[in-house]
Structure 1
Amino acid sequence: MKRQGFFRLAWLLALASVLLTASLPATASTSVESARIWPAPDHTRLVFDTRTPVDHTIFSLENPARLVIDLKNTDLKTDLDGLDLKGSPVKRIRSASRNGNDLRVVLDLDRDIKPRSFQLEPNQQYGHRLVVDLIQEERASLPSPDRPIVRDHGDGKRDIIVVIDAGHGGEDPGAIGPAGTLEKDVVLSMARHLKDLIDSKPGYEARLTRTGDYYIDLRSRTLLARKHKADLFVSVHADAFRSPQPSGASVFALSQRGATSETARWLARSENRSDLIGGVGGVTLGDKDDILAGVLLDLSMTASINASVGVGDYILGKLGKVTKLHKPGVEQAAFAVLKSPDIPSILVEAGFISNPREERNLASARHQRKVAEAVFDGIDDYFNNRPPPGTLLAWQKRQSGGGGSTEYRIRRGDTLSAVARQNQVSVQALKRANGLTDDRLIVGQTLQIPSS
């Protein structure tokens, strides 16, 4: 009898345990810890910080416009009502538990959008993230090709267009200094200073790829430069390295063969990884056969790289007067943002944000202005020596020549054809005026530029 009583008691205890477990609420395997929203001109990015990667689905509903985000085995541990929705197509965010263990988030929208979602691995600032992009196709940030882009001073004397690209932005902070200074904030401030300087000089006009704290993918940055008919593309960044010792500003141009130093290689990989947050693309020559397209692309890219190295030399000369230089010459690396075959493009690294002393400088508004002034002075000197044909600066240079010949000093990256084109004379005229029998030039050589 005692044995029967014992087994009966054990059975009752087991049954009670099962009933108690069934009555407890299910526990989600992950959670949404916080959220952020980043409105941009042509899209809005909503980011959920999750404890671990999350299984999710999204779908759109119409009349009224809504986006539904279902997160499996997830609970909500933040208040989505606190998000600032100003400037975004989101009117309201609602959330509720679904199927007892899932989370449903509903975005009430004021217009139709094209949704896109993906997950990001942890980085220096954030952990696991679920990113939802709301793409507003009717508000494309790229200007239409027939929109007037440049000021014309009459008789075809147009402005020189400089497109300034502040690196990173939004969910991509870039490098982070030891004291917490964010690269994306420093470079946007410098880009704004540089734009003001360029716009204040007659004969120039500047455009920014981004005007606020949001991300633009690398393909769109170069597309913006092309749409703006840029004469020069300047991408502004702040270096970081594994150790705090490296310091100094650098200027990079594109290398078709790869980086010129181990630091350049590491930096190129680091910057190009930012494209995981957007999308990658390139230039196509679809209307040409493979051989012709390859030749044209190679010629255009070579000319652009030569011009990029040339303007980089001028900028380095000015930067060296206001800050330490990391390397004395223009470095070359495979930065994706520089791969525009038809626009001279440079990347200015204003200093090492990973160096505590330089981080303090980069966070200083005074130092930011000094760097921006040095970059502009270099750009201005370059274009005053090599103004693009048809620009106000080219016309002013011809006028100051008084109809006679002028001198031009050969710099690194110059070619005879480029010098002839920029001075609006023929290659044969240059050869005759200087007694040249071939196209070879020597850095430091002085050419007489005949009047056309």
Structure 2
Amino acid sequence: MIITVRDCLRLLLVVVVSLSPAAGIAATEVEGARIWPAPDHTRLVFDTRSQVRHTIFSLENPSRLVIDMQDTSLGANLDRLDLSNSPVKRIRSAPRNGNDLRVVLDLEKDIKPRSFLLEPNQQYGHRLVVDLIQEDRESLDELTKPIVRDQSDSKRDIIVVIDAGHGGEDPGAIGPGGTREKDVVLAMARRLEELIDSKPGYEARLTRTGDYYIDLRRRTLLARKHNADLFVSVHADAFRSPQPSGASVFALSQRGATSETARWLARSENRSDLIGGEGGVTLGDKDDVLAGVLLDLSMTASINASVGVGGYILDQLGDVTKLHKRGVEQAAFVVLKSPDIPSILVEAGFISNPREERNLASANHQRKVARAVFDGIDAYFNNVPPPGTLLAWQKRQQGGAVASEYRVQRGDTLSAVARRNQVSVEALKRVNGLTDDVVLVGQTLQIPNS
């Protein structure tokens, strides 16, 4: 049999046509889907074989959201998604224009949609993310203004905001046995919340109460909303090899503070925000130089307090688990960058270490770690109670080491305050949890008995 050149060309044309998208084979496929309801939005995630071109638009009466994906087929069962606690009543899908896919969300009420693509990571491949923002609920973006405490209340609670890292689409580190960091730290945060709330003079708040993700900057905004005296972010460390182990405590590094100072000064809305906590200093009426100095002093005071409380926590953690480092480490973590709230990050252990993974997944070990963290917090605040709190009042009533309080004035130095009150600089630093001689105008110092 003789095959001519023309026959070869015809055969090649048939093959090309049969493999082209127009012949009914889409370029990519939706391989899976997940939904994550959060307090102010719901996140819908589509796993796609490759990057997908898409458009979204809303329809009213009834409320619907239409998601069109170009050159895409559906290989997942969307009916299996749990739509409870979300504004989605039903999900429908159908091919469109040959090789395109249309997904329609039937909604209980109108929402504000947002969509974006995510590149593959260690956990997932290509993803199309659709956020359904529920504008009738309080948005975390609206929490940039802090709530000012009632200064007439001299026995208020110490507010501790606990941040369980990761959540939702972000599982955090995953141990060799499949334990997910986001689950471990949420369980530990809840145990810490119970311990704090059970002690008179304390009140705890969680940044997230379920399996959903909160932007890192929004976590610090929540701490400001609750006017926190302390922000504690709970995580579980990981490394590329299984050998490293032990718990760690981090505070903000000076390098991180410097970059954050520049960021705050660059954003005009921060100018009217409180700096220095109880001092109530604002930047709105200050020039750039003075605002920078005040902000830098506030950052330094916050870091000093963070290192102080971190040291107390490490002392307690060392009794229940191995320590990775015996001193408080410092790094430029975003969640630690609040300029006037002492903030620490607790790495409860290495989830990448098989033995520590088993410990971190154990309810008993979680209770021990949570108890150690709280005991450290309590020891610190009993030594340096914030002004106006029940702990400060109790310390005065008991005739403890603190004889009085002093509000730092312009021109004051730590040595001058010590000399005026006939105490040593070291005693002032010890009682106030200071690691250096820097004091901030408006800062309240506890003056120890001579």
TM range (shorter): 0.7 to 0.9
* Preserved CA contact (<8 Å) 1:37 1:46: yes
Measured in 1, the distance between the counterparts of 2:153 and 2:8 equals: 100
Question: 2:419 — aligned with what?
Answer: 431
Where structure 2 has 5 or more consecutive residues not aligned to the other structure, the ranges are 258-266, 273-283, 437-445
Pairwise CA distance, 1:324: 0.5
Q: TM-score, normalization: structure 1?
A: 0.82
* Preserved CA contact (<8 Å) 1:420 1:430: no
* Preserved CA contact (<8 Å) 2:151 2:388: no
Counterpart mapping for 1:278-427 below 5 A = 284-285=270-271, 287=284, 288-401=286-399, 406=401, 420=406
Measured in 1, the distance between the counterparts of 2:97 and 2:120 equals: 29
Question: 1:93 — aligned with what?
Answer: 91
Question: 1:225 — aligned with what?
Answer: 223
Partner-residue secondary structure (3-state), 2:254: coil
Measured in 2, the distance between the counterparts of 1:184 and 1:338 equals: 18
Partner-residue secondary structure (3-state), 1:139: coil
Measured in 1, the distance between the counterparts of 2:340 and 2:53 equals: 43
Pairwise CA distance, 1:82: 1.2
Amino acid at match of 1:431: R
Question: What percentage of aligned pairs have identical amino acids?
Answer: 73
Where structure 1 has 5 or more consecutive residues not aligned to the other structure, the ranges are 260-280, 409-416
Residues 23, 234 of structure 1: CA spacing in aligned structure 2 closer, same or farther, 3 A cutoff?
closer
Measured in 2, the distance between the counterparts of 1:291 and 1:26 equals: 65
Partner-residue secondary structure (3-state), 1:133: strand
* Preserved CA contact (<8 Å) 1:254 1:333: yes
Measured in 2, the distance between the counterparts of 1:14 and 1:318 equals: 77
Residues 154, 300 of structure 1: CA spacing in aligned structure 2 closer, same or farther, 3 A cutoff?
closer
Pairwise CA distance, 1:434: 3.3
More displaced stretch, 250-259 vs 374-383: 250-259
Measured in 1, the distance between the counterparts of 2:195 and 2:58 equals: 45
Measured in 1, the distance between the counterparts of 2:9 and 2:395 equals: 100
Post-superposition Cα deviations, 1:372-411, rounded to whole Å, max 9, x if no partner, equal 000000000000111100011110000000xxx7269xxx
Measured in 2, the distance between the counterparts of 1:444 and 1:290 equals: 27
* Preserved CA contact (<8 Å) 2:33 2:44: yes
Measured in 2, the distance between the counterparts of 1:239 and 1:231 equals: 25
Question: 1:263 — aligned with what?
Answer: none
Measured in 2, the distance between the counterparts of 1:160 and 1:438 equals: 26
* Preserved CA contact (<8 Å) 2:235 2:345: yes
Residues 51, 145 of structure 1: CA spacing in aligned structure 2 closer, same or farther, 3 A cutoff?
closer
Partner-residue secondary structure (3-state), 1:45: strand
Runs of 4+ in 1 over 4 A off after TM superposition: 6-24, 141-150, 152-155, 419-422, 426-430, 435-445
Pairwise CA distance, 1:293: 2.2
More displaced stretch, 8-17 vs 114-123: 8-17
Residues 15, 399 of structure 1: CA spacing in aligned structure 2 closer, same or farther, 3 A cutoff?
closer
Post-superposition Cα deviations, 1:301-333, rounded to whole Å, max 9, x if no partner, equal 111000000000000000000000001100000
Counterpart mapping for 1:126-137 below 5 A = 126-137=124-135
Pairwise CA distance, 1:109: 1.1
* Preserved CA contact (<8 Å) 2:147 2:224: no
Measured in 2, the distance between the counterparts of 1:252 and 1:313 equals: 10
Counterpart mapping for 1:159-238 below 5 A = 159-238=157-236
**Alignment match of 2:118 (pick from 120, 130, 150):** 120
The count of residues paired between Structure 1 and Structure 2 equals 410
Measured in 1, the distance between the counterparts of 2:12 and 2:153 equals: 94
More displaced stretch, 164-173 vs 53-62: 53-62
Measured in 2, the distance between the counterparts of 1:448 and 1:407 equals: 6
Pairwise CA distance, 1:297: 1.2
Measured in 2, the distance between the counterparts of 1:107 and 1:332 equals: 46
Post-superposition Cα deviations, 1:93-126, rounded to whole Å, max 9, x if no partner, equal 1111111011111111111111111111222222
Post-superposition Cα deviations, 1:352-378, rounded to whole Å, max 9, x if no partner, equal 111111111101110000000000000
Pairwise CA distance, 1:12: 12
Post-superposition Cα deviations, 1:197-216, rounded to whole Å, max 9, x if no partner, equal 00000000000000000000
Residues 399, 12 of structure 1: CA spacing in aligned structure 2 closer, same or farther, 3 A cutoff?
closer
Residues 438, 344 of structure 1: CA spacing in aligned structure 2 closer, same or farther, 3 A cutoff?
closer
* Preserved CA contact (<8 Å) 1:161 1:228: yes
